[in-house]
Amino acid sequence: MVDNYFENRAERTIEKTREILDDLPQFANEFFVGIQMRTSELTRLNYACDLRVFFDYLAKKKFKNSVAASELTLKDLETLTALDFELFLEYLSSYSFGGKRYKCGERSKARKLCALRSFFKYYFKRDKLSANVTVKVDLPKIHGKEIIRLEPDEVVDMLDGATDAERLSLHQRHFHNITQKRDIALLTLLLGTGIRVSECVGLNRADVDFNAGAFTVTRKGGGKDILYFADEVSAALQDYLKWLDAQIDGKTDFGKKIRNFDALFLSLQGKRISVRAVEMLVKKYAALASPLKKITPHKLRSTYGTALYRETNDIYVVAEVLGHKDINTTKKHYAAISDDIKRNAARVVKLRDKKPDNDNEM
């Protein structure tokens, strides 16, 4: 049976959500059943986590521990005012849950308020709440974040760092002879196609077609898409797979560890590589190329999107390749480049283009 990363992840996510539901009031189950057909497993898990924090807050602060969070009722929710939600947002700036301290920034607060709006809207539409008080609460103001990406010379430096172990620590060099081919292939794929880290981790060997120069990727929400890669990506992937097959056939120490023969990228334990491992891998090599920038796999995606936009001048192509459902998302991230393109375009049009003086040509 083929190992399907996304099916396995969905099953784990569903189980986590069910565990959290045990901490929520009984009536909350109806909400999760009601939104099941129009939301992803991950969205429902995020909703459950956000609601758990909210009901824990109500039990501790609003009702002074007179009732457990799981015992709150819809009648209790009827007593809430807009001020209660505003106080909750303030509480999120620094709060304790499960014995740990947490801090929420403006984006995290906005996400939690959106979850509460969906929750209260659901019961209001079904006449189980007399009003949806959450609509009276303004979303936190979201300040724009600086778009961080690698420059072309930094991309070269990063790939060189994965090729040559000289700048790595002694501990890192110890594993470099095993991970070198994989790391180069993985970084080249991220930088050369702009796929998300979860999409990369979920790739199986069967998803790649070298004859067509293409691979099948599972997008957010479970949809399938076909993306194409250039010769440089193809060469790096084939070099890695040739090495990997040699480990298996030669029954090397690493080859004997391999248990997952479907996954494209493997960990040192012979299992499918994790998202966390890819994040650490990117951080390691990015630090060699650009120590002052905080580079994540998503920043490599932005790096590719920037390069693609500069080459095509077509925001719709960038949105299609990156898998953005909303073109405004793409425009927001590449607005600065749009200004450059528009500025250059303005210089192309000449209203009174000077012509050679032909008066002396008599």
| Residue 362: pLDDT band with limits 50, 70, 90 | very low
With b for 16 or more beta-carbon neighbours within 10 A and e for fewer, the 239-261 pattern comes to: ebbeebeebeeeeeebeeebebe
Residue 193 sits at the vertex; the CA angle it makes with 187 and 198, to the nearest 5 degrees, is 70
Average pLDDT value for residue range 141-150: 82
Predicted local distance difference test score (pLDDT) of residue 329: 74
Could you say which DSSP state residue 99 is in? Answer: T
| Residue 67: pLDDT band with limits 50, 70, 90 | very high
> CA-CA distance, 172 to 192, in Å (whole number)?
25
User: Which of the residue ranges 142-146, 264-268, 336-340, 347-351 has the most confident prediction, judged by mean pLDDT?
Assistant: 264-268
Helices 231-249 and 170-193, interaxial angle, to 10°?
Answer: 130
Hey, what amino acid is at 299? K
Average pLDDT value for residue range 294-303: 93
% of the chain beyond a pLDDT of 90:
74
% of the chain beyond a pLDDT of 70:
92
Q: Considering the domain 5-136, what is its CATH architecture?
A: Orthogonal Bundle (1.10)
> CA-CA distance, 194 to 211, in Å (whole number)?
21
Reading the block at residue 63, the tokens are 């009702």
Q: Considering the domain 152-344, what is its CATH architecture?
A: Orthogonal Bundle (1.10)
Would you tell me how many other CB atoms lie within 10 Å of the CB of residue 354? 6
Residue-wise pLDDT tens digits, 82-129: 999 999 999 999 999 989 999 999 999 999 999 999 999 999 999 999
Would you list the domain boundaries of the chain? Answer: 5-136, 152-344
Predicted local distance difference test score (pLDDT) of residue 347: 62
Assessment of whether the complete model's pTM goes beyond 0.75: yes
> CA-CA distance, 30 to 40, in Å (whole number)?
16
Predicted local distance difference test score (pLDDT) of residue 185: 97
